[in-house]
Structure 1
C-alpha cells in the first residue's frame, strides 16, 4: 500500500509542523506560568441550553443525553455519524441519500429519504443555529453535545419532530493566549487496522483586547478506505477539511456579540463508502426471462478479485471518478441584557454544494457484470437563511419565559441528473436498456413561526410548563415545462407539563407535546408527475425523573409513547432495469414507545462512567404491506434496533507527581436491525457488540497526553445500508444483496497525541 504509506508520512510531517508552529509562541512564555486545565464541574452542575436558556441538566424536564468535550474525545467522536455511540436513543445511518438534515433517528423515528424537498425529523443545531439540510459533518473544538428526545418544535422549530442534536462549540476566552494540537493516527494494515485514518485538530485562542477575543480551530480528516478497488489495489481516499473562526466581543457589560464563520470541503474517490456485494447468485435468467447470465454474478466478480461475503468491501472497476462537496456559513448573535429580560437576535446563512460524479456514479462498480447502471455527474447546491428574535426572562422570576419569532428560507437547486442503464453481454458489445433524466429543479421552503414557552413556579417544589408555536410553511417546486407544485401548511405545536422536586437532588416530570414536520414534494425518478407528501404530526407523552447519586453521578430515567399522524415513509425497490427507485408516502399509525435509562458523570474522582439502555418498540401500523407484499404491520421500523446499550468510561491512576495513567472503554450493543420494509431476513443484521477503548498517559496538568486506541475490536461488520435484488432477483428467487459499509464496520487501531500550550 504505497499510497497509504505516503499519506501517513505526509500526515506525520503535518503534525510536526503544527506542533512546531504552536510551540513557538508557547516557548516565549514562562513554562511554569501555564495554568492547568480547569477540572470538569460535577454532572449536577452541567449547564445545558435545551430550553434556549442556560440551566442545570438536572432541572430540565426533558430526557437528555449530554456528552462533554472530554467524553467526545475519549470516544473519538469526530463526526456527526459518531454521535450514535454516545446515546442509546440515537441512530445515524451514514449512507448516501439517508438522514436528510444529518440528524438520523431518535427512539426509532427519523427521516431517511432521497426526496429533495424533505426536512429532518431530528434537527441539528450548532451554536443555536439550525443547520437545515446544509449540515456539518466533522465535530471539532466542541464544548458539549446534547441529545434531546421527543418533539422539540415549541422552541426549535419544524425540523425537530423526533428530537434535536444540540451542539455547542468552545467560545473564545478573554485575556488568554492558548493553543492545542490533537491527533489520531492509524495506518491500514498496522496493528490490525483494516483502514487508515489520520485526524489532526488544531485550535488557537487569541486575546485582542480586554473585552474581545478570537478563536480559530480546524481539522483535517483523511481516510484511506474502507472500500477498496480490487482492480488497482487502492483503498478509496475520503478526505475532509474544516475550519471555524469565532469572535467574541462585549462592548459593554450588557451587550455581547458573537460572530462565527466556518468552511468545510470534502472529496471521495469512486463513490466513497458505497455499495459492495455481500450475496450473489450463479447462472440464471433475469428480468423475467428477458436475459440469461451463463456465468453468474458470483463468478463474474471473482474474475476481478472480489470475493462475495459478509464484510466484503471490495469492488472492481478501471474507471476513476471523484465527488466533492463544500459547506460554509456564518452567524451573528447579539445579546442585550435589558433588565428584567434579555433580548437575542441570531442571523445566519449557510450554503452547501455537490459537484462532480456524486456518491453513486457507478452503482455496481463491477466491470465484469453484464448489467451496468451509471449516474452522470451531478451539480447541486443549497442556500439557507435564518433569522431569530427572542426575549428571555431572568431565571429567578416566578414565571420564567422565552418568546420569539423565527424565519427561515431554504432553497435547493439541482441541474438535470441522468441515469444510464446498459447491458454488456460480451466484450465491446454494449446494448442500451434505458436512460432516465430528472429535469432541473428548484425547491424553496419558506417558513415563519411565533413561539413561546413559560415555566411557572407554584411554591418551592412544583413547576408548570406551557408552550406553543404557530408555524406557517410554504414549500414549492419548480421544474421546466411543469406547473409549479405548492404545499402550504399552517400548524400549531405545543407542550404542556409539570415537574416536581421529590427531594433536594431528585426531580420528576410529566409532559405531553405535539410536534410538526413540514411536508415533502416527491420527485419520482421514473418520469411520473411530482406529488405532495403531507406534513408529519407527532404527539408524544413522557414521564421521567432525574436524580444525583453518590454526590455526582446523574440518573436520567424516562418512559415515552409517541404516535405519528402522516408519518413520512419511503419504500425502495430495484426496478426492471436494475435502478433503485424510492417512493415517498404518508403512513398513519406509526408508533414508538418504551423506556430509557441513562447514567452519566463521576462515580469517584478517578472514575467517570456514562451508560444507557433503551427499549424502543417503534412499529409499522397493522396491515402495513412491505415492498415484498407481505404484512409487516406491528414489526420494528427499518434502521431501528428495539434494544440498545451504550457504555463509556475512564479510570485514571496517578503515577508519581507529574503523570497519570488512564484506561477507557467504549461499548455499544444493539439488537437485530432491519434495513428494508419487507420480511426478507437477508437484509437484516444480527444482534451484536461493538467494543473499543484506549489506554495511555497524561501529565497531571492535562497539557500533554499520549494513548493507543482501538475501534471495533472484534471487526464486526455492521452495515450502514442493505439492498436486496441488487442488481436484480433471478427467476430462481435468489435475492442478490448489496451493502454499504462505513468506518464503523471495520477495526481501526492507532495512536493519539494531544498537546496544549
Structure 2
C-alpha cells in the first residue's frame, strides 16, 4: 500500500498547488436550490441562487457539504456540451466511461474509476446503477433514452449500496427530471440538424391546472441519424439513430405537507446497431485456404486494417436492434411533523429484438436472430423482455435539536426476464468453419471437410431456438444516519441488509440439424485408430455447438450390435450445452462509515470506508452449462476507502474538490469465451486505486473554466486465478496482474466558457464553449496478456497483448458557439463534437471462427467520429 499511496500523495499535493496557483476551474450551471442552507453572500462569489443542490444522500444538500465524490450538472450544462444521452457523459466526468458492443440495449457497460461490468450477457447486472426520479433501471441499455427536460444529473463515484441498493458497487447515476410548475406556464423547444443527416427535436410544456395545487408537464424528443459504419459488402449502415421519447407528469399538492407525483414515459427505438470493423485479418487469406474451399478468396472480408478503421467500413450484412419500453412511477411525500415519509412505486416493461450477422464477415456463416426471411422452417429473431416492479418506503427526520439526522427505509424489486436466442447456420458455414479449423484440409476429405464428415449433409438452415427465463426478487431494509458531534464535526453510519433470489431456466424450445446427427454417428462408429478420428471430434463440436442435451443427457442411439438401440450419455460425446432449471440465493450486508470535519465554512474534510455488492445470478447463454459447467456465478463484494477535501477558494470564485480512493473487489465477475463456451467466472482479486481532482471556477460574470483529472490504477490482482479450475483458471491466469478493460490510468478534462454580452452596445449575448478530454492508453479486450512480454514500466505495451487490443492515448475535443436574443427567448448554436475526428475503438474481440489462437482475425467496435451541426432553441 505504501508504494501506491506515496505517488498519489505527491500527485494530490501538486494538484492542490495547481488549484491555488494557476486558477483553472470548472463552472457548472446553477441548479435550483429548494431547501438549501443560506450562505454568506459577502464571503461566497457563488451566492444563494448558484448553490448546487444534489440528492446524493437522499436529502437536498449543497454539493460542497456532502462527504461524497459527486459531479452534478444541469440541463443547461448538458445542452452546452451537446450531451443528449448518457453515452456522452465522459466529457463532464473524468471518472466516467461507457462502451457498447453488439447491441446497445444489452451490450452497454458503464465504468466509474475503471470498474464496470465485463460482458454483454443479460444475466450480468451493472456495476453502476442508473436511477431516474428515484427509480432503479434494471440495465444500462434501458436508460439510453434522450436526456431531455432534466433538473439535474449526478455522477456518484464509489459504492452507493447503503442508500441506493443493489448493483451500485462502482457508483451510480442519479437523474432527476423537471417537476411540473404549479404557478406558471413554461416551455421550450429545440431543433438540431447536423452531418450524418442528424435530426434532433426536443420540446416540453408545463401547465398549472389548478394554481398552487395541480400541474402537468409533457416533454418529448425525436432523434434520427444515419449510420457511422457502412458495410463494404452490401452498403448497409450501422450505428444509426431512429428513436422517440415521450414523458408525461402530474404533480398534485392537495396540502402544504403532501405531494403526489406521477410519471409515465414511452420510448421507441429502431436503431441499426452495432456492426464491427475488421482490424486484423487471418493468415488463411494469404494462404489461399478460403479459395481452396470454394469460397471467395478474401473469406468475406473486403476491407480490413487501417483502411477499414479510417473509412469506418465493415463487412457484414445485417444488424438490427429495435427496442421499445414504457414505464410508470408514483412518488408520494408526506410531512408527518416529526418525520417525512416518501414512497416510490414503479413498473417498467422493456422489449428488445435483434437480427445480426454475428460472424462480422460477408460470407453467410451464421445469423443470430435470423427471422423468417432467413429460415422459414422455424428460426426466430432474438427477443428480450424485462419486466421490473420496484417499491420503496422510507422515513427521515431529525432528533435532539438536529443533532441526529436519521433515515430508515425498505425496498423490494421483482424482475422477470424472458429471452429467446436464435441461431441459424448459413450456406457457407461448413466450408468457412472447416477452413478455419483445418486450414489445408486432408485430401481424403476434399475441399469441404465438415461437409464430408457429415456424409455430405448440408448444415445450411440448421437452427436452434433457446429460451431463457429468470425471475429475480430482491428485498432490503436500510438506514443512514448523520450524527452531528459538534457544529463542525459529524459522523455518518449506514447499513443495508439485502436478500436476493433468482430462479433461472434454459430450454431449447426448437432445433433442427441433420448434419449434426450425421457427424455424431460418424464420430462414434469409427474406430479410434482411424487417422481422421481427431478431426471427427473437432468437426462434431463445430457442427453441433448450437444444440443442447437435456439435464439428464441419456438417449437411445443405434450403437449396439447390428445397430441395436442402446442408452448413450450424450455429454460424453462432446461438451454439448446443458439445459438447466436452477436457483441462486444470496444475502449481503452493505454499510458505510464516514467522518466529516468542517474547519470553516469554506472547507470540508472527510474520510470513510464502505462496502457494496453486485448481485450474482445466471449466465444466460446456451453454452453456460456446457461440459457440466455451473451456469451460476457469485456476487461481487466491494470494500472501498476514500479520503477527500472540498474547498471554496478566492472569495468563493473557485471550488476545488479532491478525493483519494482505494477499492478492493472479491469475486469480480468476468464473461469470456474460453474456447469451449461463454463462461462467467469470478476472479478473487481486483483493485482500483487513485485520485480525482475537480476544480470549478467563475472568474467573472461571463468567464468560467474547468479542470477534472482522474488517476485510476484498476487492475487484476497477481493471484486472481486462485480457486478457479479448468479453462476458466487458464484464462484468468492471463489476466492476473494486468489492467482492467477500458480503464485508462489517466483521464483529464479541460474546458473554458464565455457566456455574456457580444458587446457593450447590444442586448444579445454569446456563448463560446470549448472542452477537451484526454485519455491515456487502455486495453479494449479481456484476451490474456503474454507475461513474458509485459514490462511494468510500460503496462500498455502492445507487444504484451494480442495485436490491436490497445487503444492508444487520444484527445477528443468539442466546441460550441451560440447567440441568444434579449430576454433569452431565442438561441442559435453552431457546434461540433470530436472536432478533430479522433478515431478510437471501444471494444476489441476475436472475430468468430476465423482461425485458431495466434492466427485470429480481430474485430472492433469503433467510437463516434466527428459530428457538427446547428441547433436553434426557444423557451417561454
The 3-state SS of whatever aligns with 1:155 is: helix
For residues 159 and 173 of structure 1, do their structure 2 counterparts lie closer, same or farther at Cα, with a shift above 3 Å needed? same
Q: Cα distance, 1:623 vs. partner?
A: 4.5
Note if 1:492 corresponds to 2:589.
Answer: yes
Give 2:383's aligned residue.
379
Note if 1:659 corresponds to 2:790.
Answer: no
Describe how 1:279-318 pairs up with structure 2 within 5 A.
279-281=280-282, 283-284=284-285, 300-302=300-302, 308-316=307-315
User: Which stretch of the first structure deviates more once superposed, 699-708 or 327-336?
Assistant: 699-708
Distance 2:246 2:481 in 1: 37
8 Å contact kept, 2:280–2:304:
no
Distance 1:435 1:160 in 2: 42
Within the candidate set 82, 98, 102, 1:76 is matched to 82
Give 1:553's aligned residue.
654
Give 2:358's aligned residue.
363
Distance 1:375 1:521 in 2: 21
Note if 1:132 corresponds to 2:138.
Answer: yes
8 Å contact kept, 1:101–1:132:
no
8 Å contact kept, 2:685–2:720:
no
Distance 1:430 1:754 in 2: 63
Distance 1:471 1:283 in 2: 53
For each residue in 1:415-456, what CA deviation from the matched residue of structure 2 results, as whole angstroms up to 9, or x when unmatched?
A: 352243614579999953895736312101101100001001
Within the candidate set 303, 327, 330, 2:328 is matched to 330
The 3-state SS of whatever aligns with 1:135 is: helix
Q: Cα distance, 1:157 vs. partner?
A: 0.5
The 3-state SS of whatever aligns with 1:251 is: strand
Give the CA RMSD over aligned residues: 3.1
For residues 117 and 299 of structure 1, do their structure 2 counterparts lie closer, same or farther at Cα, with a shift above 3 Å needed? closer
Distance 1:462 1:155 in 2: 22
Note if 1:410 corresponds to 2:415.
Answer: yes
Distance 1:692 1:647 in 2: 11
The 3-state SS of whatever aligns with 1:472 is: strand
Give 2:405's aligned residue.
400
Q: Cα distance, 1:373 vs. partner?
A: 4.9
Within the candidate set 742, 747, 757, 1:639 is matched to 742
Q: Cα distance, 1:627 vs. partner?
A: 7.7
Structure showing greater radius of gyration is 2
Give 2:841's aligned residue.
719
Q: Cα distance, 1:601 vs. partner?
A: 5.0
For each residue in 1:80-122, what CA deviation from the matched residue of structure 2 results, as whole angstroms up to 9, or x when unmatched?
A: 1111221111111122367969660111111132333222110
User: Which stretch of the first structure deviates more once superposed, 98-107 or 414-423?
Assistant: 98-107
Give 2:192's aligned residue.
184
8 Å contact kept, 1:101–1:119:
no
For each residue in 1:478-499, what CA deviation from the matched residue of structure 2 results, as whole angstroms up to 9, or x when unmatched?
A: 2346552111111111100100
Q: Cα distance, 1:222 vs. partner?
A: 0.5
Describe how 1:665-744 pairs up with structure 2 within 5 A.
665-677=770-782, 678=784, 679-729=801-851, 733-742=854-863, 744=864
Within the candidate set 213, 228, 247, 2:250 is matched to 247
Q: How high is the TM-score relative to the length of structure 2?
A: 0.74
Give 1:605's aligned residue.
701
Distance 2:731 2:296 in 1: 24
Give 1:420's aligned residue.
425
8 Å contact kept, 1:115–1:521:
no
Distance 2:699 2:457 in 1: 67
Q: Cα distance, 1:203 vs. partner?
A: 0.7
8 Å contact kept, 2:115–2:170:
yes
Give 1:29's aligned residue.
none
8 Å contact kept, 2:472–2:501:
yes
For residues 136 and 588 of structure 1, do their structure 2 counterparts lie closer, same or farther at Cα, with a shift above 3 Å needed? same
For residues 296 and 415 of structure 1, do their structure 2 counterparts lie closer, same or farther at Cα, with a shift above 3 Å needed? closer
User: Which stretch of the first structure deviates more once superposed, 373-382 or 691-700?
Assistant: 373-382
For residues 373 and 380 of structure 1, do their structure 2 counterparts lie closer, same or farther at Cα, with a shift above 3 Å needed? closer
Give 2:96's aligned residue.
90
Within the candidate set 338, 343, 346, 1:345 is matched to 343
Give 1:452's aligned residue.
479
Q: Cα distance, 1:752 vs. partner?
A: 1.1
Q: Cα distance, 1:228 vs. partner?
A: 1.5
Which 5+ residue runs of structure 2 have no aligned equivalent?
Answer: 1-44, 371-380, 433-446, 508-549, 551-578, 722-728, 785-800
Give 2:26's aligned residue.
none
The 3-state SS of whatever aligns with 1:354 is: strand
8 Å contact kept, 2:158–2:171:
yes
Give 1:62's aligned residue.
68
8 Å contact kept, 2:474–2:500:
yes
Q: Cα distance, 1:174 vs. partner?
A: 1.4
Q: Cα distance, 1:641 vs. partner?
A: 0.8
Within the candidate set 154, 157, 164, 2:162 is matched to 154
Distance 2:841 2:590 in 1: 36
Note if 1:437 corresponds to 2:556.
Answer: no
8 Å contact kept, 2:290–2:298:
no
The 3-state SS of whatever aligns with 1:635 is: coil
Distance 1:294 1:435 in 2: 21
Within the candidate set 521, 531, 546, 2:618 is matched to 521
The 3-state SS of whatever aligns with 1:116 is: coil
The 3-state SS of whatever aligns with 2:772 is: strand
8 Å contact kept, 1:121–1:161:
yes
Q: Counting helix residues as a fraction of each chain, which structure ranks higher?
A: 2
Note if 1:569 corresponds to 2:571.
Answer: no
8 Å contact kept, 1:153–1:161:
yes
For residues 148 and 588 of structure 1, do their structure 2 counterparts lie closer, same or farther at Cα, with a shift above 3 Å needed? same
For each residue in 1:503-526, what CA deviation from the matched residue of structure 2 results, as whole angstroms up to 9, or x when unmatched?
A: 211100001001121112124433
Describe how 1:586-601 pairs up with structure 2 within 5 A.
586-601=682-697
Distance 1:695 1:631 in 2: 48
Distance 1:739 1:83 in 2: 22
Q: Cα distance, 1:635 vs. partner?
A: 1.7
Q: Cα distance, 1:607 vs. partner?
A: 1.8
For residues 563 and 698 of structure 1, do their structure 2 counterparts lie closer, same or farther at Cα, with a shift above 3 Å needed? same
- The number of equivalent residue pairs is 695
